[in-house]
Structure 1
Amino acid sequence: MSQYEKHVLGLSGGKDSAALAVYMRQHYPELDIDYFFTDTGKELPEVYEFLGKLEGFLGKPILRLNSNRGFDFWLKQYNNFLPSAQTRWCTRQLKLKPFEEWINPILDEGFTVYSYVAIRADEPYREGYNAKQKNLHVRLPFKEDGIDKPGVSEILESSGLGWPKYYEWRSRSGCTFCFYQQKIEWVRLQERHPESFEEAIAYEKDALDHGSPFTWSQGESLTELIKPERVEQIKADYAKRLERIKAKKAENPLRPDDSLIDIDDVYGQPKFCVACHK
């Protein structure tokens, strides 16, 4: 490895990037990889817990990158309009910008930087993952080596890390109030972390008072979503969808994968920010 090369791997707190970190340590031990996590300050406690476990396995600290300005500052800058799939200012200001502020001086020094991203072999490649700087190169080891979702699960289980605990009730890492959450995930957030749910309601009410066209969950406010009759409806709908998915899956005794059905599978092809959820 050249002294003018740098290797970096971003961790979101999600299963795929964690599995990639494990995979790179096991299969490419000669690479001195800097692992980093961009902390928005609004992450789930389970994310921090899992990152601690991952540091123990990797045998080196995970660099924490923080925005100079937090979510509340940027919310004001965007006229109290909530971030959404149409205006993902949270990803730009709280995830991408801190990374650029860290990596750009290294690139300016003349280093060639290789960034390893956890896009699996069973996922479509998106041009948005391409780096714009000529000496910053994106590498997709899982795609190159044919590692799919069951493969990711095998990597985490065999390493002893297992999956992050939030997968018991949620399909993604990222902010507690991520707008990509399914409605069942909002219900479960209220059950698991009521204080975070109340914070999300407060942000939403303030945004709506300032004319924001978006609510956290499409088509209804969190106040409406959490009404008892609506919660019952959401849970019943999820249960029906889950049973349909299970009925369609072909059983493979050599590779049982019922545990790999997550919430996004139930509701179809998921949308996500790679910086937050991989």
Structure 2
Amino acid sequence: MNVKEKHVLGLSGGRDSAALAVYMRQHYPNIEVEYFFTDTGKELPEVYEYLGRLEGFLGQPIHMLNPDRDFDFWLKQYNDFLPSVQTRWCTRQLKLRPFEIWVRPMLEEGMRIYSYVAIRGDEEYREGYSSKKENLIVKLPFKEAGIDKAGVLDILDGAGLGLPKYYSWRTRSGCTFCFFQQKIEWVRLMERHPAAFEEAKTYEKNAVDHGSPFTWSQGESLEELTKPERVRQIKEDHEHRLARQKNKSQPNPLRSDSEPLDIDDLYGKAKVCLACHK
């Protein structure tokens, strides 16, 4: 008896998953991959623009998985407590849950589903979506092929896509108010998308008023972070980190342009959510 198969690849709006989509299209054209994006409704506009360009390259639509209940609904369910590194309910409810709802009927019918995840060859394996269903199989093509960060950049350049535009100021996809953002990213969000920043401030104030122990940015509120002297301090600290990192970095002779520095290269690796940031 032939088992029906389905191949899926989740896009975050970030660099690595986009490169994996290109890689699968170029190297495995015989595999019919369905590309999907789980839309929280709180994404950067640059993310939607990049997904549109990626659709053009792939020559097929990206399946949009919209959570049936939005961020505001779940915020109430969690007693107005903000999501945090310790309690990542946003990823669980707005990213993983819609995916589970989508694939559950197919898995229950006995379909074998292959899910392709963009863990690079230069990364330690970080567990992403895990399932108790033995017919949901996670595949790591970049890991198997030894494709690293430079390889990802080459794939995107070769496809004419380049990096998402938000890489000029922030090196992670995800919600506008993602708590994994470094303080310099909050400052840049305030400067580039002031309406989104003000929305984040409103959510934070409401959460604190309801007794939430968390603020979006560790150790200070967004109100405190926006004070001119604090903004100046954050920018100066970032410039010092940038200068130190550039002094330590070895130029890559295989790339004429310098590789973009990830925020995490400057501030330390964060254990980010794969569903949001790959």
**TM-score interval for Structure 1 and Structure 2 normalised by the shorter chain:** over 0.9
Q: CA deviation at 1:130?
A: 3.6
Match of 1:203 in 2: 203
Q: CA deviation at 1:190?
A: 0.3
Q: CA deviation at 1:271?
A: 2.5
CA RMSD in angstroms, aligned pairs only? 1.1
Distance 1:262-1:127 versus aligned 2 partners, 3 A rule: closer
Unaligned runs of 5+ in 2: none
Match of 1:8 in 2: 8
Q: Within 5 A, what are the aligned runs for 1:60-75?
A: 60-75=60-75
Q: CA deviation at 1:128?
A: 4.2
- The answer to whether the 8 A contact 1:12-1:174 is kept is yes
2:143 is equivalent to residue 143 of structure 1: yes
- The answer to whether the 8 A contact 1:114-1:137 is kept is yes
Name the CA distance, whole Å, in 1 between partners of 2:248 and 2:97.
42
Name the CA distance, whole Å, in 2 between partners of 1:146 and 1:73.
41
- The answer to whether the 8 A contact 1:120-1:143 is kept is yes
Match of 1:95 in 2: 95
Q: Within 5 A, what are the aligned runs for 1:128-277?
A: 128-256=128-256, 258-277=258-277
Q: Deviations over 1:2-44 (max 9, x none)?
A: 6601000000000000000000000000000010000000000
Name the CA distance, whole Å, in 2 between partners of 1:64 and 1:13.
12
Match of 1:58 in 2: 58
- The answer to whether the 8 A contact 1:40-1:70 is kept is yes
Unaligned runs of 5+ in 1: none
Q: Deviations over 1:77-135 (max 9, x none)?
A: 00000000000000000000000000010111111000000000111112344432110
- The answer to whether the 8 A contact 1:13-1:48 is kept is yes
Which deviates more, 252-261 or 264-273? 252-261
Which deviates more, 268-277 or 61-70? 268-277
Name the CA distance, whole Å, in 2 between partners of 1:6 and 1:24.
14
Amino acid at match of 1:220: E
Q: What percent identity do the matched residue pairs reach? A: 72
- The answer to whether the 8 A contact 2:128-2:275 is kept is no
Q: CA deviation at 1:257?
A: 6.3
How many residue pairs end up in the alignment? Answer: 277
Name the CA distance, whole Å, in 2 between partners of 1:238 and 1:213.
27
Name the CA distance, whole Å, in 2 between partners of 1:109 and 1:192.
47
TM-score, with structure 1 as normaliser: 0.97
